[in-house]
């Protein structure tokens, strides 16, 4: 079919027999002869032209209808023309593949082989050729090549290749990808031995060798992940899969795939490691050593973990000195040797580069210590002798800065530190940092605890000091106040009386300050014990207002009371403390107000069954600016605390008030604006009192035998004079033993025992409580009521005395009125009701109850001037006075009233018709009615002689007053019998 062999022309073909012609016509494909002109004018085209192109050959021959060029795919024209031209010029045949477009428009691939014929002088005669339909082959080839390229790209992407060992021929084949994975050069020819040697020596190479042996001997296949070292020296993870083929029991072929899984494997290994690191960190976090901040143990644990988890040969902890220029090794773990202590140090001046690096970075990852600038100084003295190759250092930081470093080192092998290793060490350093900090915090807490113990001891010492001071101050104060009271009982020249009154006021003021300071320290020490007694809140508030009224009046300020909402007013609580708070607020209001008024309003609120007493003290005074308001409730705080300040005061009042309010389950609040006025409000929990009203009983003190036990001579003198003044018989004992001796003497001589004993608390030898216990333990004495009078001012509260068996308790100095009232309460109590501990608060709650109605007295007096004076005085003292001009008239009047109408009879002695002596005897005999036989009769006598007094008492009178009658003395005497306020 080669045209070059052809010697005949197409024209010549025809005449040569049918046989040849039919051969030409039947050959599948086009056989043609054309001119070598531009259109390739066809001279001959075989019949098969029709099959291939759809055109009749006749239509193409001599370009009858179209030229051959027209059926060539336009995109291929150039290619075909070039090939043909080249062939013609070079006198070569051409072989080209191109597309034609058939009559039906279908594109078909054809292969043409052709050649030009020349005459002897090398002129082209014509072109001959054969065109074959290669469409199907072409498409199959296309498919194949597409598949192949797909496979290639797959194997490239999957980094997977194939290999085969022909054992018969002893040859090894590696696909391109296998070669690429091994990174071998193009001219490298692998063989079985070299292939195995690519596996990493040790485990990996041993493993593949034994797997290969098993494959060729036992026919076992393998599938394994191993490390190879590539031609260029890189470590690479691969998955090797292999299987063998046997022929007649002989292994002839081993083949399989080879895949690079490096990235994936490394990720997997990293994530395994990260997991392990995290687990280790989690374990460390909850480790008991860490929890308990046992720093020594934590350090050991940390270095051990580093060795195990990071797989390094050396791990150590270094801690900075204070200046951070020296690192001290605290703990080191060496593989195979365990954890040990070390006293190695690193000086910044010897290793400046290293220190600079740690100051700058929190983590230094050094793959090669010999080349890294930070460790270059270490080579000779450290890394080389220990064969250290890589180092990973994390700085232990805390909020206060760098504490030290954690250092992991590999020995004999280089390590490329991974992200997760760095993260692990950094986390471990943080954990360690916080552990170290919490240990320091613990140490600080210990110190604080010590300081607290010291402070507590100081507080105890302070309260002891206060107790002592209180005693030391109160003892003389008792003397001063007692004596002043006694002096006041005497008739004095006016100027002296005024001076005594001033001295008494000053002494009371001093006592007030002392009480404040003491109260405050008691409150601070939580030692204020509240009383729980019945009181009339209306009276209490009224009295506080009345007490401040004088001061207010003198400044031209009005005190207004609004007690409408105070219902009910009989309450149970601590009236003494409420009075204290209120007195402070009202006296402040008066003190800081120059014009206007002070409004005191009170209300009782009932919430969920609880009662709250609310009292508001509102003034129109100087006010308090907002910024000063809160701090005023702190002790010693005053708006103006300068030395030039206008107002006096200790600055304790509000602090105490606040504490007391809180103690009573309430609070204190303030609304104020500078220049406008202030409004202090308090709220306190109270309960409602049972309506039973107690009065101070009337008792003849002069019937009482009282034993006073006190080591202080002044006190003994004061109290015996005070009681003696009321007619009581007083026995004095200077200590407990003396008291017991006096009691025993009474017993031995079969005399009646003491009615009441008043004991001092602080006495040498045996104190008041001890003595109380001794008396209560003895059947002979246990019924004697005991009164505690202490100058320690009850740092421990009244309860202690009540528990010990005392019936009454008074801090010194005690007023005579309180003392007498207490004695009356106690001595009149015939054990029918259990009394609460009698205190000043209790006494005042009783006394107030009494003042609600006016007491009536019968004044028996013949002298008109005396009648007038006495009536005025009595009225001033709130008495309802009925006048009788002589004894007889007195008897007549009395007869017309029931018992207790008159609280007492004030009886003149010298009178016409019937004198005082006779009248008294007649009353005692029932001449004024049985109901008045026991009425109190007080003589008013001008004779101060002892014999007169005796005469009065002998005639049945209870007591006497010397004329001229003085208001104070009258008041005191009446109080004794009536329980009215002094």
Binding site for ligand ADP (CB under 6 A): 584, 588-589, 592, 619, 621-624, 632, 638-639, 649-655, 678
- CA nearest 602: which of 618, 613, 589, 590? 613
Rounded to whole angstroms, how far apart are CA atoms 471 and 710? 13
What is the nearest approach in angstroms of ligand ADP to the Cβ of residue 605? 23
What is the nearest approach in angstroms of ligand ADP to the Cβ of residue 663? 17
In the bound state with ligand ADP, the residue whose beta carbon lies nearer, of 100 and 656, is 656
Tokens of 405: 């470093």
In the bound state with ligand ADP, the residue whose beta carbon lies nearer, of 434 and 583, is 583
In the bound state with ligand ADP, the residue whose beta carbon lies nearer, of 622 and 660, is 622
- CA nearest 24: which of 46, 6, 45, 7? 46
In the bound state with ligand ADP, the residue whose beta carbon lies nearer, of 654 and 701, is 654
In the bound state with ligand ADP, the residue whose beta carbon lies nearer, of 593 and 827, is 593
236 preceded by a cis bond (ω within 30 of 0): no
Q: How far lies 569's CA from each of 561, 604, 687, 689, 855, in Å? A: 14, 8, 11, 9, 22
In the bound state with ligand ADP, the residue whose beta carbon lies nearer, of 638 and 816, is 638
| Residue 351, C-beta contacts closer than 8 angstroms, at least 6 positions apart | 377, 378
Rounded to whole angstroms, how far apart are CA atoms 181 and 241? 14
Rounded to whole angstroms, how far apart are CA atoms 929 and 922? 10
In the bound state with ligand ADP, the residue whose beta carbon lies nearer, of 645 and 875, is 645
What is the nearest approach in angstroms of ligand ADP to the Cβ of residue 703? 45
Burial category of 839 from C-beta neighbours within 10 Å (exposed 0-12, middle 13-18, buried 19 and up):
buried
Rounded to whole angstroms, how far apart are CA atoms 476 and 717? 12
Tokens of 471: 């005693």
What is the nearest approach in angstroms of ligand ADP to the Cβ of residue 666? 17
Q: Contact, 493 vs 625, CB < 8 A?
A: no
What is the nearest approach in angstroms of ligand ADP to the Cβ of residue 516? 8
In the bound state with ligand ADP, the residue whose beta carbon lies nearer, of 678 and 867, is 678
Sheet architecture: strand order including 222-229: 171-174, 160-166, 250-260, 235-247, 222-229
Phi, psi dihedral angles at 594 (to 5 degrees): -110, -25
| Shortest-Cβ-distance residue relative to ligand ADP | 649
Q: Contact, 770 vs 737, CB < 8 A?
A: no
If one counts every other C-beta atom within 10 angstroms of the C-beta of residue 794, the result is: 23
In the bound state with ligand ADP, the residue whose beta carbon lies nearer, of 580 and 683, is 580
In the bound state with ligand ADP, the residue whose beta carbon lies nearer, of 639 and 953, is 639
Q: What angle do CA 536, 537, 541 make, to 5 degrees?
A: 125
What is the nearest approach in angstroms of ligand ADP to the Cβ of residue 585? 7
Rounded to whole angstroms, how far apart are CA atoms 41 and 60? 8
Q: What angle do CA 619, 620, 624 make, to 5 degrees?
A: 80
What is the nearest approach in angstroms of ligand ADP to the Cβ of residue 678? 4
What is the nearest approach in angstroms of ligand ADP to the Cβ of residue 553? 18
Rounded to whole angstroms, how far apart are CA atoms 332 and 715? 78
In the bound state with ligand ADP, the residue whose beta carbon lies nearer, of 272 and 558, is 558
What is the nearest approach in angstroms of ligand ADP to the Cβ of residue 542? 20
What is the nearest approach in angstroms of ligand ADP to the Cβ of residue 526? 20
**Alpha helices (H) along 677-786:** 713-725, 736-748, 768-777
Q: What angle do CA 90, 94, 96 make, to 5 degrees?
A: 145
What is the nearest approach in angstroms of ligand ADP to the Cβ of residue 667? 16
In the bound state with ligand ADP, the residue whose beta carbon lies nearer, of 649 and 836, is 649
In the bound state with ligand ADP, the residue whose beta carbon lies nearer, of 184 and 632, is 632
**Alpha helices (H) along 382-493:** 419-489
Tokens of 37: 């002109």
What is the nearest approach in angstroms of ligand ADP to the Cβ of residue 463? 21
If one counts every other C-beta atom within 10 angstroms of the C-beta of residue 690, the result is: 9
| 338-340 and 558-562 strand pairing | unpaired
Rounded to whole angstroms, how far apart are CA atoms 735 and 757? 13
What is the nearest approach in angstroms of ligand ADP to the Cβ of residue 641? 8
If one counts every other C-beta atom within 10 angstroms of the C-beta of residue 321, the result is: 13
Q: Which helix (H) or strand (E) covers residue 522, if one does?
A: helix 494-524
What is the nearest approach in angstroms of ligand ADP to the Cβ of residue 795? 22
In the bound state with ligand ADP, the residue whose beta carbon lies nearer, of 641 and 945, is 641
If one counts every other C-beta atom within 10 angstroms of the C-beta of residue 573, the result is: 25
Rounded to whole angstroms, how far apart are CA atoms 56 and 442? 110
In the bound state with ligand ADP, the residue whose beta carbon lies nearer, of 318 and 520, is 520
What is the nearest approach in angstroms of ligand ADP to the Cβ of residue 538? 23
């Amino acid at each position: 079919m080669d045209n070059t062999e052809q010697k005949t022309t197409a024209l010549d073909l025809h005449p040569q027999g049918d046989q040849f012609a039919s051969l030409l016509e039947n050959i599948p494909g086009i056989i043609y002869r054309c001119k070598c002109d531009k259109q390739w004018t066809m001279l001959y085209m075989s019949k098969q032209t029709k099959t291939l192109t759809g055109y009749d050959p006749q239509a193409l021959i001599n370009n009858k209808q179209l030229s051959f060029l027209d059926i060539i795919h336009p995109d291929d024209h150039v290619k075909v023309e070039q090939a043909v031209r080249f062939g013609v010029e070079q006198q070569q045949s051409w072989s080209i593949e191109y597309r034609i477009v058939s009559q039906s428009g279908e594109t078909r691939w054809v292969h043409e082989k052709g050649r030009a014929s020349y005459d002897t002088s090398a002129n082209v005669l014509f072109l001959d050729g054969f065109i074959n339909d290669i469409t199907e082959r072409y498409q199959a080839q296309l498919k194949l090549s597409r598949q192949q390229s797909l496979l290639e790209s797959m194997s490239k992407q999957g980094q997977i290749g194939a290999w085969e060992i022909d054992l018969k021929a002893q040859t090894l084949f590696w696909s391109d990808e296998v070669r690429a994975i091994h990174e071998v050069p193009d001219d490298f020819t692998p063989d079985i031995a070299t292939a195995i040697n690519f596996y990493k020596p040790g485990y990996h190479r041993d493993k593949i060798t034994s797997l290969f042996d098993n494959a060729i001997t036992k026919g076992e296949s393998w599938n394994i992940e191993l490390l190879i070292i590539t031609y260029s020296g890189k470590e690479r993870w691969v998955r090797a899969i292999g299987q063998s083929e046997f022929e007649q029991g002989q292994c002839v072929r081993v083949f399989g795939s080879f895949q690079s899984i490096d990235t994936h494997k490394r990720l997997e290994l990293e994530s395994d490691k990260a997991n392990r690191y995290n687990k280790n960190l989690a374990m460390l976090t909850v480790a008991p050593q860490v929890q308990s901040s046992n720093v020594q143990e934590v350090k050991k644990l940390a270095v051990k973990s580093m060795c195990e988890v990071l797989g390094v040969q050396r791990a150590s902890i270094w801690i900075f000195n204070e200046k951070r220029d020296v690192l001290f090794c605290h703990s080191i773990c060496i593989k195979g040797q365990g954890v040990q202590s070390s006293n190695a140090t690193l000086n910044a001046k010897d290793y400046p580069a290293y220190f600079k690096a740690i100051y700058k970075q929190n983590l230094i990852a050094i793959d090669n210590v010999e080349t890294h600038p930070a460790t270059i100084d270490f080579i000779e003295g450290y890394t080389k002798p220990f064969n250290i190759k890589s180092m990973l250092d994390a700085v232990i930081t805390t909020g206060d800065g760098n504490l030290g470093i954690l250092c992991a080192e590999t020995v004999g092998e280089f390590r490329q530190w991974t992200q997760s290793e760095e993260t692990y060490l950094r986390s471990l350093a943080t954990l360690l940092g916080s552990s170290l900090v919490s240990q320091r915090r613990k140490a600080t807490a210990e110190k604080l605890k010590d300081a607290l113990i010291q402070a507590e001891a100081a507080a105890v010492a302070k309260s002891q000091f206060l107790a002592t001071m209180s005693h030391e101050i109160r003892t003389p104060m008792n003397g001063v106040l007692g004596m002043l009271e006694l002096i006041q009982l005497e008739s004095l020249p006016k100027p002296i009386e005024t001076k005594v009154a001033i001295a008494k006021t000053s002494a009371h003021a001093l006592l007030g300050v002392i009480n404040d300071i003491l109260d405050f320290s008691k409150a601070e020490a939580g030692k204020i014990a509240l009383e729980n007694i019945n009181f009339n809140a209306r009276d209490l508030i009224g009295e506080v207002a009345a007490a401040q009224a004088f001061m207010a009046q003198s400044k031209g300020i009005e005190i207004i009371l609004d007690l409408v909402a105070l219902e009910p007013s009989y309450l149970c609580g601590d009236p003494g403390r409420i009075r204290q708070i209120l007195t402070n607020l009202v006296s402040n209001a008066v003190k800081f107000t120059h014009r206007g008024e002070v409004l005191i309003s009170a209300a009782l609120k009932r919430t969920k069954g609880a009662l709250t007493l609310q009292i508001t003290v509102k003034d129109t005074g100087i006010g308090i600016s907002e910024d000063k308001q809160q701090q005023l409730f702190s002790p010693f705080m005053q708006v103006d605390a300068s030395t030039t300040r206008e107002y006096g005061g200790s600055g304790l009042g509000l602090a105490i008030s606040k504490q007391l309010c809180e103690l009573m389950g309430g609070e204190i609040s303030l609304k104020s604006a500078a220049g406008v006025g202030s409004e202090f409000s308090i709220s306190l929990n109270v309960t409602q009192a049972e309506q039973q009203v107690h009065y101070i009983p009337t008792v003849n003190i002069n019937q009482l035998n009282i034993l006073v036990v006190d080591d202080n001579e002044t006190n003994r003198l004061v109290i015996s004079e005070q009681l003696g003044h009321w007619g009581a018989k007083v026995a004095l004992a200077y200590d407990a033993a003396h008291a017991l001796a006096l009691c025993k003497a009474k017993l031995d001589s079969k005399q009646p025992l003491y009615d009441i004993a008043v004991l001092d608390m602080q006495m040498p030898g045996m104190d008041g409580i001890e003595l109380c216990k001794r008396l209560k333990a003895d059947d002979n004495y246990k019924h004697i009521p005991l009164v505690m009078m202490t100058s320690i001012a009850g740092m421990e509260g009244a309860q202690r005395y009540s528990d010990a068996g005392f019936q009454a308790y008074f801090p010194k100095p005690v007023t005579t009125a309180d003392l007498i009232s207490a004695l009356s309460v106690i001595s009149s109590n015939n054990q029918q009701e259990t009394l609460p501990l009698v205190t000043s608060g209790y006494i005042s709650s009783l006394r107030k109850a009494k003042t609600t109605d006016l007491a009536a007295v019968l004044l028996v007096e013949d002298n008109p001037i005396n009648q007038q004076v006495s009536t005025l005085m009595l009225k001033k003292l709130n008495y309802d006075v009925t006048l009788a001009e002589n004894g007889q008239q007195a008897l007549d009047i009395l007869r017309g009233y029931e018992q207790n109408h008159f609280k007492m009879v004030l009886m003149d002695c010298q009178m016409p018709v019937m004198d005082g002596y006779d009248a008294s005897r007649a009353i005692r005999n029932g001449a004024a009615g049985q109901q008045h036989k026991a009425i109190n009769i007080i003589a008013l006598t001008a004779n101060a002689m002892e014999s007169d007094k005796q005469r009065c008492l002998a005639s049945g009178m209870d007591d006497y007053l010397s004329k001229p009658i003085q208001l104070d003395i009258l008041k005191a005497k009446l109080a004794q019998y009536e329980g009215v306020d002094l």
